[in-house]
Structure 1
């Protein structure tokens, strides 16, 4: 049966990569074009509109309203999204484990080994993960890489994570011991993982010491960066803003004049072909993704190494993909901020243009679909090997997990309840590599 599924998913050729891939399987958008995103809500709960009964505002709602009142006007959707997700006291990602039972699925160590071999096996390497979730990917990566003594001894792991709650989970899952600088007056914590590898935590990429070849992994990180939306009006492109209505609820309004994000809009329009936005009345951009890409490229250009970005997105202009998801159900973006995850499609074309403009010392490869990426790394052979020594129950789990990673849409082999049918994300997710020109083309992109 699995072999039939393998043939349906991907022609047999070519170990595996991602982890918390299936975190948003219930919220995957439907078919897309180069210029627009439509969301298939047919199987999801559609919440009612705002309710305006008297309620006590949460601390985050009070904070947001305070910002709007202090400014004397609305805030951008990007600022709203940033506060909702990463506010130090009440942000969605800050004080909780947000990944749940569906969060971490199938992972592998081959990403670092792939880059490590192509960098000429240096004596010391910075291995960086942006937004490492529970630390599951890094734990699996180190476990697999531990077979390569020289490689594992060369690593210094750096986790870029702003959530204290998630830092604690990462510490546990990496089985870290000791805090080498716990008593020092510093924001950087360092411990030792089960494999003896030093692990340090940082609030942002810029805090990581430079001077060593660097491997950067960003899996489902870019999709949570704040986006800005612009809507075409009679006076031109106007940014969509968040304001407080007369009944004290949040509402969307349009900016009366150009905003700081307009500069990034102009840059994005410059990169696009005229036909990509000619018929659009709304455009979504992510300035932070452009800036982060430049930071990544600066590091790779000066120190060597590469970055691997895996996320759900598309290689073109995005119209409107921002969505709020609470317990696998779509909810209103402005309802009960801080209680739902906000995410948007990643504009891989924008990342590519940002990287190429930032430096001539790097090459950008992809995006390719996750199915192509994992196929090139040998996921089919890996699954076949695992099936040789497993129970029927384990085989079913492997088959289902394989489909989720490389399949497209509902699994054709599923015979269980309709509400539990595995949804393949192999074409929803894209993979892109940015590497120093001295290191050649990464294997999956050759």
Structure 2
């Protein structure tokens, strides 16, 4: 664990932040989203005869598109990739109708987007999927210390950009609102910072919006005598709170701080597979009897192949690309990064992105879904399980840098490094000196899950509840306006 002198690097901490933060009460269940076994299912591979032939080099943009037949070999005959639907849900019917209407398969990206955010049946839309009672656990649910450290980072950036009197604090995909609530509680004694905040929650789920409203202890107040104008205030900080479906809806015009924790991993990805005829897009179709979903390869290069795959490969070295048989590309992540970079370039401020992924091309991470803390196949009962993919941090960097020369990108560094630099070690040590044995156990468990690597060596409880550290699997990256310098702790 990396450590440094906090009083020298972060003057905010020396003013008493570590001593004034409330005691966390952390659950001891493990975070399944940190497990590397997300990438454990069988890969869809071309036949041996296909592998013996040469492949198209996507880095050569002069190569013309080639019309090829559908390659279904080895894709839909195995049980791992064909799933019976005992009784079709509304979402299953909707997906099948899209495929039938188009007369052919849909992309993995479209399938993923429908499964997660369909307005009527999407996984995130109409229920609470977080925590021990949901389908998975995220870092803010593991320990309150996570939100506190994000609060430290936010205050440090606010100080670095000149302590503006007004700042838009935006969280993308706020879940239950736990992270933002912990951030506000931890920073509640820093009056100038607290007064500057206008909180914007970018959330498309009405169910989660209600949970966020409750977590932030919001109240609605009238602003004029006739009651025609109202606003929502968080009683945790006195800050106004607004909700938006997209980042584009958040007003421009003042300094901005954006938090995106486990948001990019839920953006839909396109998957591509190398065959004897070149790169084909992996698609989702229904079987001939219309009972099962199955994977197939596109009959010819798709628009996503020609646009996004070629662009992603041009950002990589030829040596990196030639080793791969599968590549995932997330156009939505590129587009979102463009929006973030443009906003920061024009208004100032910065963005913090924390997610699991790697600093390079992602080959084939989108294979498993999570339902009730267990891994299931992504084609099994769509809409009932979480779908996500590893985040390509190198793609985020390139996407941000191509937008404006006025922004700079820093990282990624591991979550363990990030939290360690910000003082989580000192925080947990201080809390352990004044807590019950039960609270101490929760603190140790939560601390390990946030910064550890692998199974906790101190665990003496049931094997199926062993805390799994996500400190090295999760990465942190910052995008900031250049005129503000390098953000902490990326120096």
TM-score normalised by L of structure 2? 0.81
**SS where residue 170 of structure 1 aligns?**
helix
Aligned twin of 1:389: 434
The residue number in structure 2 matching 1:234 is 276
Question: Aligned partners of 2:389 and 2:163: how far apart in 1?
Answer: 36
Q: In 2 relative to 1, CA 418–223 (structure 1 residues): closer, same or farther, beyond 3 Å?
A: same
Equivalent in the alignment of 2:462: 417
Are the structure 2 counterparts of residues 190 and 50 from structure 1 closer, same or farther at C-alpha, using a change threshold of 3 Å?
farther
- How do 1:283-322 and structure 2 match up within 5 A? 283-322=327-366
**More deviation in 85-94 or 418-427?**
418-427
Q: Is 1:217 equivalent to 2:263 in the alignment? A: no
Distance 1:196 1:26 in 2: 35
Partner in structure 2 of residue 349 of structure 1: 394
Tell me whether 1:80 sits opposite 2:102 in the alignment: no
User: Does the CA-based 8 Å contact 1:326-1:341 persist in structure 2?
Assistant: yes
After superposition, what is the alpha-carbon deviation per residue over 1:111-139, rounded to whole angstroms, capped at 9, x for unaligned?
Answer: 32021011100111000000000001111
Do residues 192 (structure 1) and 223 (structure 2) align? no
Which runs of structure 1 show a deviation greater than 6 angstroms over 4 or more consecutive aligned residues?
A: 19-24, 50-54
Given that residues 13 and 375 in structure 1 are in contact (C-alpha distance below 8 angstroms), is that contact kept between their aligned partners in structure 2? no
Structure 1 counterpart SS, 2:131: coil
Which piece of structure 1 moves more, 190-199 or 209-218? 190-199
**In 2, Cα distance between equivalents of 1:131 and 1:236:** 37
Q: Deviations over 1:1-44 (max 9, x none)?
A: xxxxxxxx556765899x9999983354539xxxxx94399xxx
Q: Distance in 1 between matches of 2:222 and 2:369?
A: 39
Question: Matched residue of 1:308: which SS?
Answer: strand
What secondary structure sits across from 1:158 in the alignment? Answer: strand
Q: CA deviation at 1:233?
A: 1.3
Q: Could you tell me how far 1:105 is from its partner in structure 2?
A: 2.1
Give how far 1:64 is off: 0.6
Change (3 A) 1:52 1:424: closer
C-alpha spacing 1:21/1:157, structure 2 compared with 1 (3 Å): farther
Deviation at 1:417, TM superposition (A): 1.8
* Structure 2 SS opposite 1:444: coil
Identify the residue that residue 185 of structure 1 maps to in structure 2. Answer: none
Match of 1:272 in 2: 316
Q: Give the conservation status (yes or no) of the 8 Å contact 2:415–2:472.
A: yes
Taking a change above 3 Å as real, the CA distance of residues 412 and 10 of structure 1, as seen in their structure-2 partners, is: farther
Task: Supply the distance in 1 between the matched residues of 2:85 and 2:241 (Cα, whole angstroms).
Answer: 48
Map of 1:5 onto structure 2: none
Deviation of 1:276 after TM superposition, in Å, equals 1.4
1:257 alignment partner in structure 2: 300
Measured in 1, the distance between the counterparts of 2:400 and 2:339 equals: 9
CA distance in 1, matches of 2:406, 2:263: 24
How far apart are 1:180 and its partner, in Å? 5.8
TM-score of the two chains, using structure 1 as the length reference = 0.89
Residue matched to 1:140: 182
Please tell me whether residue 176 in structure 1 is matched to residue 223 in structure 2: no
Q: CA 1:221 to 1:307, structure 2 compared with 1: closer, same or farther past 3 Å?
A: same
Larger of the two Rg values belongs to structure: 2
Contact 1:22 1:404 in 2 (8 A): no
Which residue of 2 is the match for residue 368 of structure 1? 413
Cα displacement string for residues 186-241 of structure 1 (whole angstroms, at most 9, x for unaligned residues): xxx95111121100000000111100000000000000000110001122111111
- Aligned mates of 1:223, 1:24 — CA distance in 2: 19
Q: Deviations over 1:291-343 (max 9, x none)?
A: 10000000000000000000001001111101211112221111100000000
Q: Does 1:30 align with 2:36?
A: yes
Does the Cα contact within 8 Å between 1:13 and 1:378 map onto a contact in 2? no
Give the aligned partner of residue 64 of structure 2: none
Distance 1:53 1:236 in 2: 31
Displacement of 1:72 in angstroms is 1.3
Which range moved further: 54-63 or 207-216?
54-63
SS in 2 for 1:240: strand
Deviation at 1:71, TM superposition (A): 1.1
Name the CA distance, whole Å, in 2 between partners of 1:111 and 1:76: 38
**What SS does the corresponding residue of 2:378 show, helix, strand or coil?**
coil
Cα deviation, 1:354-404, whole Å, max 9, x if unaligned, reads 111111110100000000000110111111111111112211111111110
Cα distance in 1 for residues equivalent to 2:412 and 2:330: 18
Task: State the partner residue of 1:117.
Answer: 159
What is the CA distance between 1:260 and its match in structure 2?
2.2
Residue matched to 2:443:
398
Q: Is 1:93 aligned with 2:124? A: yes
Are the aligned partners of 2:28 and 2:445 in contact in 1 as well (CA < 8 Å)? no
Flag structure 2 segments of 5+ consecutive residues without an equivalent: 7-12, 43-78, 224-229
User: Secondary structure of the residue that 2:176 maps to in structure 1?
Assistant: coil
CA displacement, residues 247-279 of structure 1 (integer Å, 9 cap, x when unaligned): 321111111122221211111100111221212
Q: Answer yes or no: is the 8 Å Cα contact 1:12–1:380 preserved in 2.
A: no
Contact 2:173 2:202 in 1 (8 A): yes
**How many residues get paired?**
420
